[in-house]
Amino acid sequence: MLSVLRHRAYRRLFAAQAIALAGTGLATVALSLLAYDLAGARAGAVLGTALAIKMLAYLLIGPVATALAERVSRRTLMAAMDIARAAVALALPFVTEIWQVYVLVLVLQAASAAFTPTFQATLPDVLPREADYTKALSLSRLAYDLESLVSPVLAAGLLALVGYQWLFTGTTVGFLASAVLVGSVVLPKPGPTGGGRWATTTRGFRLYLATPRLRGLLLMHLAVAASTAMVVVNTVVLVRDGLGRGGGDVAIALGAYGTGSMAAALLLPGLLKRRTDRQVMIPAACTLAAGLIVLAAALSGDLLGWAALLAIWAVLGAATGAILTPTGRLVTASATAGDRPAAFAAQFSLSHGWFLVTYPLAGWLAAQAGMSAAAAALAVVAAAAAIAGPVVWPRRETQALAHVHARLGPDDPHLTGARAAPEGWSHSHDYVIDALHRHWPENRSGRPCDERRQDRRTAAASSAK
């Protein structure tokens, strides 16, 4: 995996990503403590709203930024977004009202929503060899896991020496360092893409939602969103009010969650040699639901202690890591090289879209009905995702699928080796949604894979005449 770091441009881009993530981790801890200072026991509600704003920015801005990045300098865009994020982090310690937090979070996350998909869209051009690109995806996942582990530990150490406001300074330094590293790299110009700007913006969503395994993956992310919302939004209230511990222990609790995720990331490469992604992810989603149920029961019986909280957070972190780590493999296997940037942008937006529900649910329900009610409600959400996932995601799905082309002529190079079928030409190969394959093969209906819905209606009308 580390061999890909020999590539100079990618090495600097990865360093920029890792440093920016470390800064983001410091900001997560600091924002929790800032919310507690401003709202006290209602800090969870404030965080829930702020994080819902974050996810709204991710959902709406990410795909648009990916389309724009194909037409402007990616290096300039990413460096500018880093500078914008640094400016917001520098301003956060000076806020005195809750609404100011919401405004600054919106600006910060809008910049992040532009930076992250642009970074992902850049990697296939920087690393044109598929093997190198796959290694880069795995390394990026590891960077996220390291951030969730290292940043809370670093924050805990700093909080022993300085106030939490200084953590925002560390965030600012991280974003500025990322901007310098991104600016030092010469990036390839984006290649031409088919379709207009709207088609470029939406093709990732169309590809993602047309692929059964990716629809199943989206449900796995719903379970992740339910557990993550409980951890991120309510840790500060559970530790400070529920257990009466200090700000440094907030970072330690978040570090336990990150430790679990890191353990899963380290164990999964060996496990995935013996198990499929589906066989790993669905049990992990069930574990998330079970962990939230245990948490709700402990809270309702007033049985939650410090050791129990750390243990539950570690289990939730491990199950979350078991879902997030293989995600890149599924998306990579479900798109052509040219469509991967759009597919990853759709993955980024759709998976974060679930948090628009779970973050406010975690914060506001905890503030209004109590922490046990919030944990129980999120357990129901995670359980529903774990149950629906196996239904949406076929058990015996294979990449090589038989399908029929109705719109290609017999001399088309894509049909080499194909045989005649009643509605066109039939053949089999590793199947992904692209310009030649508009929808997933439907064995019962026999609908050609390149036929549009309006084509089907037109044919039916002609037959009726």
Same domain flag for 191 and 332: yes
d(CA 328, CA 18): 17
Same domain flag for 158 and 244: yes
Could you tell me which residue, 11 or 189, shows the higher pLDDT? 11
* pLDDT of the residue at 186: 79
Same domain flag for 385 and 428: no
* pLDDT of the residue at 464: 39
* Of 42, 40, 30, 157, residue with least CA distance to 94: 30
Question: Number of structural domains, the chain?
Answer: 2
Alpha-carbon dihedral sign for residues 386, 389, 391, 395? negative
Same domain flag for 180 and 220: yes
Calculate ∠ Cα 373-36-23, nearest 5°: 105
Same domain flag for 375 and 316: yes
Could you tell me which residue, 290 or 403, shows the higher pLDDT? 290
* pLDDT of the residue at 463: 37
Judged against a pLDDT cut of 50, whether residue 41 lies above it is answered with yes
Tens-place pLDDT, residues 115-154: 877 787 677 778 777 667 666 766 776 677 666 666 666 7
Judged against a pLDDT cut of 70, whether residue 270 lies above it is answered with yes
* pLDDT of the residue at 153: 67
Burial class of 386 by CB neighbour count within 10 A (0 to 12, 13 to 18, 19+): buried
Residue 284 sits in a domain whose CATH number is 1.20.1250.20
* Secondary structure (H, E, C), 126-145: HCCCHHHHHHHHHHHHHHHH
Assigned domain for 347 exists? yes
- Give the 3-state secondary structure percentages of the chain, helix then strand then coil, rounded to 5: 75, 5, 20
Q: Could you say which of 392, 427, 444 is where a domain stops?
A: 392
CA–CA distance from 406 to each of 188, 211, 410 (Å)? 37, 20, 10
* pLDDT of the residue at 69: 58
* Interval 422-430 mean pLDDT: 77
* pLDDT of the residue at 307: 95
End-to-end Cα separation, the chain, in angstroms: 61
d(CA 249, CA 28): 14
d(CA 321, CA 157): 25
Helices 197-210 and 340-353: crossing angle in degrees, nearest 10, is 70
Same domain flag for 242 and 325: yes
User: Are 59 and 116 contacting, i.e. CB atoms less than 8 angstroms apart?
Assistant: no
d(CA 308, CA 313): 8
Q: Kindly report the backbone phi and psi dihedral angles of residue 460, in degrees, each rounded to the nearest multiple of 5, phi listed first.
A: -65, -40
- On average, the pLDDT of the chain sits at 80
Judged against a pLDDT cut of 70, whether residue 444 lies above it is answered with no
Assigned domain for 82 exists? yes
User: Are 51 and 233 contacting, i.e. CB atoms less than 8 angstroms apart?
Assistant: yes
Placement of tokens 């939406």 in the chain: 202
Tens-place pLDDT, residues 328-342: 778 878 887 677 767
Choose the weakest-confidence range: 7-16, 136-145, 299-308, 332-341: 136-145
Percent above pLDDT 90 for the chain: 21
Same domain flag for 424 and 313: no
Same domain flag for 368 and 428: no
* pLDDT of the residue at 465: 38
Choose the weakest-confidence range: 118-122, 247-251, 377-381: 118-122
Same domain flag for 341 and 458: no
SS3 320: helix
Judged against a pLDDT cut of 50, whether residue 437 lies above it is answered with yes
What's the domain range around 89? 2-392
* pLDDT of the residue at 458: 40
Burial class of 95 by CB neighbour count within 10 A (0 to 12, 13 to 18, 19+): middle
* pLDDT of the residue at 448: 66
* Of 325, 225, 212, 223, residue with least CA distance to 275: 325
* pLDDT of the residue at 462: 37
Assigned domain for 404 exists? no
Assigned domain for 231 exists? yes
Assigned domain for 407 exists? no
* Interval 182-206 mean pLDDT: 65
* pLDDT of the residue at 222: 96
Same domain flag for 109 and 258: yes
Judged against a pLDDT cut of 60, whether residue 193 lies above it is answered with no
Judged against a pLDDT cut of 90, whether residue 83 lies above it is answered with yes
Assigned domain for 397 exists? no
List CB contacts of 266: < 8 A, sequence separation 6 or more: none
DSSP state at residue 93: G
Choose the weakest-confidence range: 195-199, 332-336, 354-358: 195-199
Tens-place pLDDT, residues 449-458: 665 544 444 4
User: Are 172 and 3 contacting, i.e. CB atoms less than 8 angstroms apart?
Assistant: no
Assigned domain for 398 exists? no
At 300, which amino acid appears?
A: S
SS3 190: coil
Token readout for 278 is 């589906």
Choose the weakest-confidence range: 177-191, 226-240, 301-315, 427-441: 427-441
DSSP state at residue 417: T
pTM: 0.73
Assigned domain for 249 exists? yes
